[in-house]
Amino acid sequence: MDSVRVGMIGAGAQANFAHYPSLAEFTDVEIAAVCDLDVTRLTTTSERYGVDRRYTDYKEMIDGEKLDAVYIIMPPHHLYDPVVNCLNKGLNVFIEKPPGVTLDQTRNMAVKAEKNGCKTMVAFNRRFIPLMRRVKEIIEVHGPLVQCAATFYKHVLNHHPYYDGAVDVLTCDAIHAVDTLRWMGGEVVSLSSVISRFYVDYENSFNAVLRFENGASGLLLTNWVAGKRVHTFEMHAKGISAFIDPDDRACIYANNEEKPHVITAVEAAGSGERFKYYGFYAENRHFIDCIKEDRQPETNFRDAVKTMELVKRVYEARI
């Protein structure tokens, strides 16, 4: 396959920040058609990227266009039907996180994808941040991780932050920290959690201690009443430790030396554009390459089931 023809369902802020500019830079991708219910967004985005084929009904788009893949970038509580309809037509599908609002939805989408032979991907972009991937490679030279941590703090003190409460905080957004823990440490054999409500009438703080299959431990630390957004990670192996702020830099300490080895996010990505240094460009490249090479993406729907299962286990393991 020399070129991948992509149909885009969704022309909102996230799609325009992360996905359209990435795909537009790929010489082996054609954005063949765009669909959005909002005609203003549809027109603005289509004109920005030179797309003539425009739709307000996604079913008309997937029926009328010859496509290799469809991006479905919309709120998670609106996601299921468009995903299933595309999978039933044998189309490869890329979606944002979370992969639906329930574990059952994610499982059902995975089954549909496998039945129809579709490549699928969930945009867990933290795995694809160039800085994160480089640091993980450096750490693992020293052996398997013995400990890792994912922190995610935000400042949200009033209304429910996600679609007027249609999706909970952990599933909708803090899932990024959960998924990255899986990526760093592997599958989880046991965990205990503390879940709290601070100053609001919904749960907005999720903290857990995890034990991975190889005996390593992990920490999940999140709350949505912090002073500002802070999202950081730690990786520790024998004689080496990394402290990573993917918006800025990683400091790697080895063999008890005082001075860290510093790698900046911009240096790792070779770009100061956030959609590139924060993993969005790389995740899109990964999806396109997997379609061309006939292999499943790393964060396919079946893998996303495991992350959604871990989210459920955090709720069930509260103390």
Residue 159 binned pLDDT confidence (cut-offs 50, 70, 90): confident
Query: Which residues contact residue 57 at a Cβ distance below 8 angstroms, ignoring those fewer than 6 apart?
Result: 35
Q: What is the share, in percent, of the chain residues with pLDDT greater than 90?
A: 98
pLDDT in tens, 251-294: 999 999 999 999 999 999 999 999 999 999 999 999 999 999 99
| Structure confidence at residue 158 (pLDDT) | 81
| Structure confidence at residue 179 (pLDDT) | 98
| N-terminal to C-terminal alpha carbon distance within the chain | 52
Supply the pTM of this predicted model: 0.97
Query: Which residues contact residue 98 at a Cβ distance below 8 angstroms, ignoring those fewer than 6 apart?
Result: 76, 122, 167, 171, 172, 175, 308
The upper half-sphere exposure of residue 131, i.e. CA atoms within 13 Å in the direction of its Cβ, equals: 29
- What's the average model confidence in pLDDT over 118-134? 98
- What's the average model confidence in pLDDT over 171-179? 98
Q: Name the residue with higher pLDDT: 301 or 1.
A: 301
Answer whether residue 1 shows pLDDT above 80: no
CA geometry: angle at 246 spanning 144 and 132, to 5°?
A: 30
Type of residue at 124: F
Packing angle of the helix pair 80-88, 103-116 (nearest 10 deg): 10
| Structure confidence at residue 35 (pLDDT) | 98
* Continuous segment of H or E residues that includes residue 133: helix 130-140
Residue 205 binned pLDDT confidence (cut-offs 50, 70, 90): very high
Answer whether residue 155 shows pLDDT above 80: yes
pLDDT in tens, 220-261: 999 999 999 999 999 999 999 999 999 999 999 999 999 999
Q: Please give the structure tokens belonging to residue 264.
A: 């900046």
From-to residues of CATH 3.30.360.10 in the chain: 126-271+302-316
Q: What single string gives the DSSP state of each residue in 30-47?
A: EEEEEE-S-HHHHHHHHH
Query: What is the spatial distance between Cα 53 and Cα 44, in angstroms, rounded to a whole number?
Result: 13
Type of residue at 284: N
CA geometry: angle at 288 spanning 284 and 292, to 5°?
A: 165
Question: From the CB of residue 158, how many other CB atoms can be counted at a distance below 10 Å?
Answer: 7
- What's the average model confidence in pLDDT over 175-188? 98
The counts of H helices and E strands in the chain are: 13, 14
Q: What is the share, in percent, of the chain residues with pLDDT greater than 70?
A: 100
From-to residues of CATH 3.40.50.720 in the chain: 4-124
Q: H/E/C letters for each residue in 247-310?
A: CCEEEEEECCCCCCEEEEHHHHHCCCCHHHHCCHHHHHHHHHHHHHHCCCCCCCHHHHHHHHHH
Tell me which CATH code domain 4-124 carries. Answer: 3.40.50.720
Facing residues of 54 across strands? Answer: 34
Max Cα–Cα distance, the chain, nearest Å: 62
Query: What is the spatial distance between Cα 5 and Cα 286, in angstroms, rounded to a whole number?
Result: 15
pLDDT in tens, 12-67: 999 999 999 999 999 999 999 999 999 999 999 999 999 999 999 999 999 999 99
Mean pLDDT, all residues of the chain: 97
Tell me which CATH code domain 126-271+302-316 carries. Answer: 3.30.360.10
**In whole angstroms, how far apart are CA 283 and each of 56, 122, 156, 213, 214?**
27, 9, 28, 27, 27
| Structure confidence at residue 26 (pLDDT) | 98
